[in-house]
Amino acid sequence: MGFIVISTDFKEGGRIPKANTCEGSDTSPAIQWEGAPAGTKALALIVEDPDAPMGTFIHWVVYDIPASSKSIERGAGSGGTLPPGAKHGSTGFGANRYNGPCPPKGHGDHRYYFILRALDKETLGLKEGASRAEVERAMRVHILAEAKTMGVYQR
C-alpha cells in the first residue's frame, strides 16, 4: 500500500468540516499515517493552500515528529498536545499553531494539501516557530518519501 496519510475528519478530495476552519472552532483535524519507509527517523507535516490569491498560503507546519508516532490527534495544532518532541512552525498568519482554511468569501473552492514527509534524520535542529522555508531547506536532502491528502473548503 505504501506511505499514506489520511484524516478521519474528511475524505480525500472532500469538504473540510467547518469546525476545522476559521468559521468554526479552528480545530486542527486528526491526521493518521502508515507505511513510512524503512529508515524513517522523523516526519514533517506542512498544510498549504495553493489557491490563495497572493500565492501558496501556509496553514500548519509541524516538524521533528518522532517516527514512532502514527498520528496527530484532533486539536493538537490548536492548543492540544503534539507527539513528544514535535515542534510547531510558523504559519502564513504568523502563528505557531494550526490555522484552518479561511479563503476569501466568494472565492470558490480552495484546495488544502496535508503533505507529510518521512525523513532520515531525527531532528531538523530548528527552534520552535521555524518558517516553512526553513523547514523545507533543513529537510531537503533528508526526505525518504512523501504522502499527501487534500480537502476543499470555500466561504
* Tens digits of residue pLDDT in 117-139: 999 999 999 999 999 999 999 99
Is pLDDT of 22 > 70? yes
What mean pLDDT, rounded, does the chain reach? 97
Domain that holds residue 15: 4-153
Structurally, the chain folds into a number of domains equal to 1
Q: Are 125 and 112 spatial neighbours (Cβ–Cβ below 8 Å)?
A: no
* pLDDT band at residue 78 under the 50/70/90 scheme: very high
What CATH number corresponds to the domain at position 42?
A: 3.90.280.10
Cell of 102: 479561511
